[in-house]
Each structure stands twice: as C-alpha cells, then as structure tokens.
Amino acid sequence: MYKIIDIADKPYSYVNSPHSHYAWEVLYFTQGEGVTYIGSQQYKFKAGDIICQPPRVNHYRVSEKGYQLICLILEQMDDFALETPFFHDNYNKDYLLILKQIMTCYQLKEYNWENIADAYLNVLKEYMISWGNRKKSIYVTKCEKEIVDNLSRPDFSLHAIIDALPISNTYFMKQFKKETGYTPNQYLTLRRVEYARSILIDLNYNGLRIKDVSQMTGFHSQCYFSRVFKKVTGLTPESVASVNSLISK
C-alpha cells in the first residue's frame, strides 16, 4: 500500500529556492509554464505535465509567467526506468481527474479512505507504466505528426515546434534520433521526398509538372527539389515521372 504524506493544490508561484525532500513528489502542473531543475538536469514544463521528483535530489523551478501545480507526496513509489519520470496527461485529463479524487479522499478522510486512495494511486501507476512503455515518446510522436501535417508548407518551422516542447532541445534531438534513426530535419526531408514520389507515380496526378510537385511537397525551388530527390532515391523526379508521362517544365 502507498502511504500518502500530503497532497495539496499549491498557490501560484514564479520561482522557488533549491531544496530537496526525503520522499517522492508527484507534481502535476495545472497552469503556466517554466523550467524545473532537478540535479544536473533541466526540464521544460507546461500545463498537463507530470513530474515524479525523486527523494534527496536538489531541485527548483523558474517561470517568467508563473505556474500552479498539485503536489502529491508519497512515502514510497515504484521504481521507473527514468531517473525522473516525466509524463504528459492525455487529452481527457484522466490523470488530473483521478488526482483530484485522491485529494478529496485525503482531505475528507472518510471511512476506508486509505484503501480508496490506494486504489486510485494504483490506477495512476498503470497510466504511468503505459506512458513509460510507449515505443516512442509523446514528444517524438508529436513532432512526427507536425511534420506529416505540414509537408506542403515551405515555411514550416521545425525549430518553432521543437522550441515549444517542454524538454531541452538537446535531449529531444538525441531522443528523436534514437527512436527514428534520423534527425528531425532528415526526417522532414525524407517524408517530403516520399510524398513527392507517391505523387509522381500516382496516375491520378497525370499532367502535373515537376515544378508543381516540388511546390506541393514544401520545397522552395524545383532545382533544390530535384537535387534532394535524387540524393534520397538515386533517381531524378523526371525519370519517375516519365513512367506516367508527366511533363517537366
């Protein structure tokens, strides 16, 4: 059985001094954004993020606009693969809803509340296990989705997407390469070329110019598109297009 030491909705804050605890803290950020420093690591956070802060590790948080969180303090907690488990709640905010149920149980302390709270905590544990065992992190998956959704936009900014993630850029770049085998820029280029190739071999697009295809797949110029396409596939766009009698102009 877990033992809850405390759970509370903390007041709005901007910065706190470096400190450590003897117990685990589960922090759920309900508002705002900022950076939390844990030992030698730093993590960007925003509303919906969950950080499981290990005991006896120095940490503090900084936020320009402020943040608010729910803090659950536990005497013990199952060991996770990550030194500092970092998660993000799902679309329905199921984790937050359960956390609020635990807070109500703890505050009211009605008959059998400890067993009820323990059952809720086990549900939270299962959520974290399922999120922790994802084949890809939620941030890698999010970046992949943004890339796929914006293949046709030449002004699409990977830099802006990566900067908006609540983790350090360096850590994300390493994680993305580890999970996909490519850097984000390489992945974007590869997906654009794959998309262009699918257009070129699709009979429904008969009559399109190579210039049209380059614009449809987010390339700034036909010349650059042709160079990248050949580098990735070993073929020129014209040679692929000729199968379907596409006209290059």
List, for residues 45-99, the tens digit of each pLDDT value.
Answer: 999 999 988 888 899 999 999 999 999 999 877 655 445 678 889 878 999 999 9
Res 42: pLDDT = 83
Q: Are strands 13-15 and 49-53 parallel, antiparallel or unpaired?
A: unpaired
Q: Show which of 132, 161, 195 is a domain's final residue.
A: 132
Q: Which range of residues forms the domain containing residue 209?
A: 182-249
Q: How many domains is the chain partitioned into structurally? A: 2
CB 196 within 8 A of CB 225: yes
Return the ∠ at Cα 196 (arms to 190 and 200), rounded to 5°: 140
Q: Of the ranges 37-46, 134-143, 225-234, which one carries the lowest mean pLDDT score? A: 134-143
Assigned domain for 157 exists: no
Q: What is the CATH number of the domain that holds 96?
A: 2.60.120.280
- Where do runs of H (alpha helix) occur along 67-183? 94-108, 113-132, 138-149, 158-163, 169-180
CB 202 within 8 A of CB 210: no
Give the mean model confidence (pLDDT) for residues 153-180. 87
Res 90: pLDDT = 86
Res 1: pLDDT = 54
What rounded mean pLDDT belongs to the chain?
86
Res 249: pLDDT = 42
Q: Please state the φ and ψ torsions of residue 36, each to the nearest 5 degrees.
A: -110, 135
117 pLDDT above the threshold of 50: yes
Assigned domain for 141 exists: no
Confidence label for 140 from pLDDT (cuts 50, 70 and 90): confident
SS3 content of the chain, % helix, strand, coil (to 5): 45, 20, 35
Q: What is the CATH number of the domain that holds 190?
A: 1.10.10.60
What pTM was computed for the model?
0.54
169 pLDDT above the threshold of 90: no
Assigned domain for 221 exists: yes
Q: Show which of 93, 114, 132 is a domain's final residue.
A: 132
Amino acid at site 99: L
Question: Is 120 in the same domain as 223?
Answer: no
193 pLDDT above the threshold of 50: yes
246 pLDDT above the threshold of 50: no
Token pair listed for 54: 């290990």
Res 127: pLDDT = 87
247 pLDDT above the threshold of 50: no
Res 248: pLDDT = 40
Confidence label for 204 from pLDDT (cuts 50, 70 and 90): low
CB 90 within 8 A of CB 48: no
